[in-house]
């Protein structure tokens, strides 16, 4: 056993036992930071199960709602800066810091995505340029000289969930969001129009006026939000190929949206990237 890497998020937790540079066992449960009652006890159990191997934790576990708050490393940040800022909360138990970005206009933070970026770089799957990391709080990350140079978070998934939970669109958003023609139509509209707060209401109006099917609303709104995100994320960048790091289902949606924007997605598996990133960070801390 080399070490145990833990992707400890808000809702879920994934544990990867790593030996000889490869994953030998994985476990996943719902003990994210909002559910976990005993961080220290759980970490002790994880170590014990791995024969006392070192443990490296990443993600929201290092946030102000997690176990021990670990300060962000300011961008530009690459492997050496991030590895140097790992906080060893106990001998053999480290927490990876997040990365922050700020200038006179923008301010942003990430926790966990930086590991996947470093992993994708280590795997040779991405290089300098723009990459996307879709999610509840999707990140668009500019890599320069192998470091995270700046980035921007777009609240797409969170806003979709909030609209679904409590808004005039709630009843229309309960269905499954597909990737068919309604999704593509939403993407095209989202790419072209920055007036999201108005376009969202028109979804309801179209259904009321019989111009759109209720069953298509969830797909259309998903497309509208993702199209808007892609438009924001691409900004003035001109990369023809944009790596997308994430889960298969979400990456596929972004691949469709990037295609509509005239770009090509290069899908990178988020779990592979996470493991490679943790191996790289662990190696660099020694």
Interface residues toward a copy of itself, by CB under 8 A: 64, 72, 100, 102, 106-109, 136-137, 152-156, 158-159, 161-163, 165-168, 194-198, 200-202, 204-206, 208-209, 211-212, 225, 228-229, 232
Task: Output the CA torsion 171→172→176→178 (10° steps).
Answer: -170
Rounded-to-integer distance, Cα 86 and Cα 98, Å: 10
Provide, rounded to whole angstroms, the least separation between the CB of residue 115 and a copy of itself. Answer: 19
Closer to a copy of itself by CB, 210 or 262: give it: 210
**HEC readout, the chain:** CCEEEEEECCCCEEEEEEECCEEEEEEEECCCCCCCCCHHHHHHHHHHHCCCCCEEEEEHHHCCCCCCCCCCEECCECHHHHHHCCEEEECCEEECCCEEEECCCCEEEECCHHHHHHHHHHCCCCCCEEEEECCCCEEEEEEECCEEEEEEEECHHHHHHHHHHCCCCHHHHCCCCCCCHHHHHHHHHHHHCCCHHHHHHHHHHHHHCCCCCHHHHHHHHHHHHHHHHHHHHHCCCCCCEEEEEECHHHHHHHHHHHHHCCCEEEEEEHHHHHHHHHHHHHHHCC
Provide, rounded to whole angstroms, the least separation between the CB of residue 273 and a copy of itself. Answer: 22
Closer to a copy of itself by CB, 93 or 221: give it: 221
Provide, rounded to whole angstroms, the least separation between the CB of residue 202 and a copy of itself. Answer: 5
Provide, rounded to whole angstroms, the least separation between the CB of residue 66 and a copy of itself. Answer: 13
Closer to a copy of itself by CB, 89 or 203: give it: 203
Provide, rounded to whole angstroms, the least separation between the CB of residue 282 and a copy of itself. Answer: 26
Rounded-to-integer distance, Cα 82 and Cα 79, Å: 5
Closer to a copy of itself by CB, 14 or 152: give it: 152
Closer to a copy of itself by CB, 56 or 225: give it: 225
Closer to a copy of itself by CB, 23 or 232: give it: 232
Provide, rounded to whole angstroms, the least separation between the CB of residue 241 and a copy of itself. Answer: 22
Closer to a copy of itself by CB, 126 or 221: give it: 221
Provide, rounded to whole angstroms, the least separation between the CB of residue 254 and a copy of itself. Answer: 14
Provide, rounded to whole angstroms, the least separation between the CB of residue 181 and a copy of itself. Answer: 17
Q: What token pair was written down for 258?
A: 């990037």
- Those residues with Cβ within 8 angstroms of residue 222's Cβ, 6 or more apart along the chain or in another chain: 160, 177, 183, 186, 253
Closer to a copy of itself by CB, 47 or 204: give it: 204
Does residue 281 contact residue 96 with C-beta atoms inside 8 Å? yes
């Amino acid at each position: 056993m080399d070490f145990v890497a833990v992707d400890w998020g808000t809702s879920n937790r994934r544990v990867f036992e790593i030996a000889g540079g490869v994953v030998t066992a994985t476990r996943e449960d719902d003990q994210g930071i909002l559910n976990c009652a005993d961080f220290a006890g759980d970490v002790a159990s994880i170590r014990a199960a791995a024969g006392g191997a070192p443990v490296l934790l990443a993600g929201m576990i290092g946030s102000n709602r997690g176990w021990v708050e670990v300060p962000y490393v300011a961008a530009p940040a690459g492997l050496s800066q991030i590895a140097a800022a790992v906080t060893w909360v106990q001998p053999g138990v480290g927490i990876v810091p997040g990365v922050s970005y700020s200038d006179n206009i923008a301010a942003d933070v990430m926790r966990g995505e930086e590991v996947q970026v470093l992993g994708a770089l280590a795997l040779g799957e991405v290089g300098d340029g723009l990459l996307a990391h879709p999610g509840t709080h999707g990140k668009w990350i500019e890599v320069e000289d192998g470091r995270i140079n700046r980035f921007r978070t777009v609240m797409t998934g969170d806003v979709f969930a909030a609209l679904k939970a409590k808004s005039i669109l709630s009843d229309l958003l309960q269905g499954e969001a597909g990737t068919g023609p309604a999704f593509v139509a939403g993407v095209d509209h989202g790419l072209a129009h920055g007036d999201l707060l108005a376009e969202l209401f028109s979804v309801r109006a179209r259904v009321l006026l019989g111009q759109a099917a209720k069953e298509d609303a969830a797909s259309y709104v998903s497309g509208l939000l993702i199209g808007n995100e892609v438009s924001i994320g691409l900004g003035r960048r001109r990369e023809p190929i944009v790596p997308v790091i994430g889960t298969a289902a979400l990456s596929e949606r972004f691949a469709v949206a990037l295609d509509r924007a005239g770009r090509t997605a290069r899908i990178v598996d988020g779990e592979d990237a996470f493991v490679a990133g943790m191996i790289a960070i662990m190696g660099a801390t020694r």
